[in-house]
Amino acid sequence: MQNYELLIDRISKAAGLEKDDIDRRVEAKKAKLSGLISKEGAAQIIAAELGISFENDDFKIAELMGGLRKVNVVGKVMNIFPIHSFEKGDRKGRVVNFILADDSGSTRVVLWDENHIKMIEDKIIGVGDVIEIKNGSTRDSEIHLSSFGELRKSDVVMDDVKNAPAASEIFLKDVRQGMIVKIRGVVVQVFQPRFYSVCPVCNKKVVSSDDGVFSCAEHGVVEKKDKAILNFVLDDGTDSIRVVMFSDQIKLLLPEEDLKEESKVTEFRDDFLGTEFYLTGRVNRNQLFNNLEIVANGIEKVDPESLISVLNA
């Protein structure tokens, strides 16, 4: 929703209208189109109707949405993936992806032009550099740069970047490996929690010896700490997916130690099953089962009251 808020803000400033007013127009447009488009999509139509063009505008990364052309972004290169060669029919070429972040979020940038790819290859642009992108286009929230686009190093100093990609709210039937997603779904199955032991200092796995002593590769013999892993299945009506949840997120649901007591696990499970959540996380392929799963990095109960206020707005 953050994406939408920023977009509404942008439209309201450009149009000189109140945000509430824009929001009402968006809802009306969505209703007129029988809810077939997203709020972001409806907002783009409203912007076009108001004569607002985002062409040549500077965008914050969290504001990006699919279907924009001529987008300008400034951000810091966080991670560069290996260059790939491809051959599609008579089209042959190379492509490289990297992660770009600013203070609003991060996204993937895809370079298709050989001159741009050379800049990566020759290390003219590397990890940690702040860069300027002009004339990019977007697919979902990714930025694609063709030979019409421009890529250069920027003088902008950027210390405070948010390298957590903005999650896109999506249906489970549409999730693909590697996506950062936000799913609204119901817990339909909960598996027995499992535990593993870590070093209390560095949180890395410890090895146990026969005499019940635990040692960390870095910190020697330590008093081990147990961490839980919780697996459950989330269903959003279009599909279901297995979710893997580690300590940090489990703590948002219940004290981790409670998962060691059978009675408390039963109580938690009864409560958790059938509950509706917003879940964010990364879609991974489970190598063992060769199916997709989500590694959770955020969970929030769907609050019926706030939902009703959104629906009535």
Q: Is there a contact between 127 and 79 (Cβ–Cβ < 8 Å)?
A: yes
Quick one: 93 or 220, whose CB is closer to Zn ion? 220
* Binding residue for Zn ion, selected from 151, 180, 216, 299, defined by CB under 5 A: 216
Bridge partner residues of 291 (DSSP): 286
Q: CB of 168 within 8 A of CB of 176?
A: no
Residue 260 CB, nearest distance to Zn ion (Å)? 22
Q: Is 219 in the site for Zn ion (CB under 5 A)?
A: yes
Q: What distance in Å separates the CA atoms of residue 170 and residue 125, rounded to the nearest whole number?
A: 33
Amino acid (one-letter) located at 220: G
Tell which positions 184-213 bind Zn ion, by CB under 5 A.
199, 201-202
Residue 224: CB minimum distance to Zn ion, A: 10
In the bound complex, what is the minimum distance in angstroms from residue 143's beta carbon to Zn ion? 39
Nearest to 161 by CA among 125, 129, 133: 129
Closest CB to Zn ion: residue number: 199
Residue among 170 and 216 whose Cβ is closer to Zn ion: 216
- Pairwise CA distance, residues 195 & 227, whole Å: 5
Q: Which SS3 state, helix, strand or coil, does residue 243 take?
A: strand
**Minimal distance in Å, beta carbon 255 to Zn ion?**
23
Count of residues in contact with Zn ion, rule CB under 5 A: 6
Q: Which is nearer to Zn ion, 5 or 218 (CB)?
A: 218
Distance between CA atoms of residues 284 and 291, nearest Å: 8
The count of C-alpha atoms lying within 13 angstroms of the C-alpha of 107, restricted to the half-sphere facing its C-beta, is 30
Stretch in the footprint of Zn ion (CB under 5 A) among 37-45, 217-225, 274-282, 286-294: 217-225
Q: Between 181 and 206, whose beta carbon lies closer to Zn ion? A: 206
Cβ proximity to Zn ion, 1 vs 201, nearer residue = 201
Looking only at the bridges linking them, the beta strands covering 142-145 and 106-111 are parallel
Residue nearer to Zn ion on the CB measure, 166 or 198: 198
Count Cβ atoms below 10 Å from residue 29 Cβ, excluding itself: 18
Answer for which of 20, 121, 218, 270 binds Zn ion (CB under 5 A) is 218
Can you give the binding site for Zn ion, defined by CB under 5 A?
199, 201-202, 216, 218-219
